[in-house]
Amino acid sequence: MNIVHYSLLFFVAVDLPCTILLFGFYSSSWLFHVDLIPKMFAYSGYTSTPLDFVIMAILRALLLATLSIYLRVSDRIANLKMPSLGVATAIYCHTLVKLLCFSEHPVLLTYPGVWMTVGWSVLAAVMFLMLCWQLTAPRLSGYGRLEEVEQSSGEESKLRESTWRLTKLLFGYARQQWKWFGAGMIFLTLYALSRVFIPSFTGQVLAEIAAGAGMRALIRSVALMSLLALSR
């Protein structure tokens, strides 16, 4: 076992317990409440339950364990960079969608545990991607894999070389234009967050109009909505 496998074991051992323990912060205070954890396992609707984060943690553990076992018992070369990137992207998108669901219940957005869970989910997606890439990286000690490369047919080798070359060109282009891609990712994240908060502030504006909270509160709410609308 090398450092990658130890890192995998540590991540799998920490991911699910950490996800569950964060349920103890699903209250308006920053104090940890153990009694909140079993309450979170009582299904109360998709838009308010964080149970799917537990399912995603179990899925990450199963995928990493399956990949690790497969690489140990098989001599075949597994290039899973793009599939693992797809899984990590799906986890990231699920996190943003779940945050949008939580915004249907404004009180949930005041819970520090919600933001801790969202942050951990994004971090876990990145760690999952890095572990997959490290596990599938070719190593000189894998004699069986080297023999398979030597025995592969010329046509299959050309196809793999062509695909790998295209992938390298795409990543090279992305590396050269990282500023634009980074700006695009930031913009998409801000856009997703604005989609989360605009309904909440719309309801707040309507509530303040109905309650007659005054012109100052109305101007503040409209100004916040205007700033959020700029990112749409």
Residues lower than pLDDT 50 in the chain: 139-149
Q: Shortest CA distance to 122 belongs to which of 27, 33, 31, 193?
A: 193
Predicted pLDDT at 123: 93
Q: What is the pTM of this model?
A: 0.61
* Backbone dihedral angles phi then psi of residue 100, each to the nearest 5 degrees: -65, -40
Quote the pLDDT of residue 82.
Answer: 82
